């Protein structure tokens, strides 16, 4: 669902960028518009990328080593 919405947003941002840049392709507004397209495209790509190593939840290791310091649970 999120990927579909981001795809639709990319299409919308590209149309906006083309409209903004049609008058002056070297303007600051044009650069900002294409930066927005790039940011949304990057967000969509991030959804497809699997998490690796340090990006995973640090508490995942607690399943294998519940006695580790970061896995301890203290009660009052």
Residues of the chain with pLDDT under 70: 49-61, 76
Output the pLDDT for position 69.
76
Sign, Cα dihedral of 37, 40, 43, 49: negative
Output the pLDDT for position 60.
67
Output the pLDDT for position 15.
92
Flag whether the pTM goes above 0.85. Answer: no
Decide: 40 and 9 in contact? Cβ < 8 Å.
yes
Which tokens sit at 26? 């070297």
SS3 label, residue 35: helix
Output the pLDDT for position 53.
54
Output the pLDDT for position 56.
60
Number of other CB atoms surrounding residue 40 within 10 Å: 20
């Amino acid at each position: 669902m999120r990927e579909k919405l981001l795809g639709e947003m990319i299409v919308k941002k590209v149309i906006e960028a083309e409209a903004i840049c049609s008058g002056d392709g070297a303007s600051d507004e044009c650069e900002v518009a294409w930066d927005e397209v790039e940011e949304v495209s990057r967000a969509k790509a991030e959804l497809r990328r699997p998490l690796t190593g340090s990006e995973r939840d640090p508490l995942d290791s607690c399943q294998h080593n519940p006695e580790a310091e970061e896995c301890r649970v203290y009660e009052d």
